[in-house]
Amino acid sequence: MRPSRRHVLTGLSATLLAPRRARAATVTDAAGRAVPVPPRVTRVFPAGPPAAILLYTLAPDLLLGWPRANRAEECEFMLPDVCRRPEVGRITGRGNTANLEVVLALKPDLILDVGSTAPTFISLAARVQEQTGIPYALLDGRFDAIAPTYRKLGELIHRREAADALARYAEETVATIRKRVDAIPAERRPRVYYARGPRGLETGLGGSINVETIEFLGARNVAAERRGGLAIVSVEQALLWNPDVIVTIDRDFAANVRRDPVWSAVKAVRDGRVHLSPKLPFGWVDFPPSVNRLIGLWWLAKILYPEQFPEDLRARTRDFYRRFYHVALGDAQIDAVLAGRG
């Protein structure tokens, strides 16, 4: 059945009038949706891991739970009581594990989603908001958008000042690193292979979110000739690429590659430039794709361009964990993080 003209007109006028009426109390999210700002926010449901981490850094008290329960070794690097909050599932990403009735039973004032603003997730946000009647904000999870994302979240949960402080830290980090990297001529930028999986043969193609940090730092991703997401490559191809630096998140691969006769032909292995990414409590280079990767920028920058980045990484780490994760790290803890434990 076609909608009658009157219905269309009513709907149209509602759309036209709504922004004027609600202007004082809405925030436009990254998808361009006007999200009503709850008058008082005490409980926020994170739709996925990036949202949970972002919210934890700004307002740990509001976090209702985690998409997946954290492990004990991760809780050493967070506020213990917040870290141990229950597993509540995820709404977005690959498959829902959260039941909307459970979401409703938790009585959140706001549902927060951080990540892709593709039409899939915009429509998901609209549908969940309509079904639950709870404001659902979809914020941009890209690296460049960290500062505006913090500021929007600050408005939504009435924590503008704290959000602004974190946003400024992110802006300064990004600006400082970008300025120094821009001054490095292309031929002095190392060719990097990003290795995942126990055999190190999963890699991120050009433009994939997995290599966003590596590409942000101007390194030449050897797999970037093809654009896409994750892919498998053969050992032969890795040998042919012969990267200057290998960055990996896999501890088995990092440990075995130095003894592996096949990989010993690769320049990065010969030069001892295979680096295992720190990952406590959240990964530094790849996932979850949230603000946890900010500190990873400094780590990677020092690996790729040691001369241009003389800063003390330990001091930076301590500072970042205090500001974002609300913990004061001891020396042994910093050692554990930098060794890639977890």
Contacts of 307 (CB under 8 A, 6+ apart): none
Query: Closest distance between another protein and the C-beta of residue 116, in Å?
Result: 13
**Interacting span for another protein (CB under 8 A) from 19-27, 145-153, 262-270, 327-335:** 262-270
Query: Closest distance between another protein and the C-beta of residue 265, in Å?
Result: 4
Query: Does residue 237 belong to the site contacting another protein (CB under 8 A)?
Result: yes
Query: Does residue 342 belong to the site contacting another protein (CB under 8 A)?
Result: no
Query: Does residue 226 belong to the site contacting another protein (CB under 8 A)?
Result: yes
* Residues linked to residue 194 through DSSP beta bridges, in sequence order: 247
**Interacting span for another protein (CB under 8 A) from 20-28, 88-96, 297-305, 326-334:** 88-96
Give the pair of three-digit tokens for residue 338. Answer: 């930098």
Interface pick for another protein out of 233, 247, 257, 336 (rule CB under 8 A): 233
Give the pair of three-digit tokens for residue 74. Answer: 């991760």
Contacts of 300 (CB under 8 A, 6+ apart): 213, 214, 217, 219, 247, 284, 285
Q: From residue 159 to residue 198, what is the string marking binding to another protein with x (rule CB under 8 A)?
A: -------------------------------------xxx
Query: Does residue 240 belong to the site contacting another protein (CB under 8 A)?
Result: yes
Query: Does residue 85 belong to the site contacting another protein (CB under 8 A)?
Result: no
Query: Does residue 142 belong to the site contacting another protein (CB under 8 A)?
Result: no
Give the pair of three-digit tokens for residue 174. Answer: 């990004």
Query: Does residue 69 belong to the site contacting another protein (CB under 8 A)?
Result: no
Residue whose CB is less far from another protein, 128 or 233: 233
**Coil vs helix vs strand at 103:** helix
**Interacting span for another protein (CB under 8 A) from 140-148, 171-179, 220-228, 295-303:** 220-228
Q: State the DSSP string of 154-181.
A: HHHTT-HHHHHHHHHHHHHHHHHHHHHH
Length of the chain: 342
Please say whether the beta carbons of 112 and 129 come within 8 A. Answer: no
Nearest to 246 by CA among 202, 216, 182, 293: 202
d(CA 320, CA 329): 10
Residue whose CB is less far from another protein, 109 or 202: 202
Query: Closest distance between another protein and the C-beta of residue 48, in Å?
Result: 8
Query: Does residue 148 belong to the site contacting another protein (CB under 8 A)?
Result: no
Nearest 10 degrees: Cα torsion 78, 81, 84, 86? -130
Nearest to 50 by CA among 312, 290, 296, 252: 290
Query: Closest distance between another protein and the C-beta of residue 68, in Å?
Result: 7
Query: Is the backbone peptide bond immediately before 281 cis, with ω within 30 degrees of 0?
Result: yes
Binding site for another protein (CB under 8 A): 49, 68, 93-95, 97, 196-199, 201-202, 205, 223, 225-226, 228, 230-237, 239-240, 249, 252, 261-262, 264-265, 283, 286-289
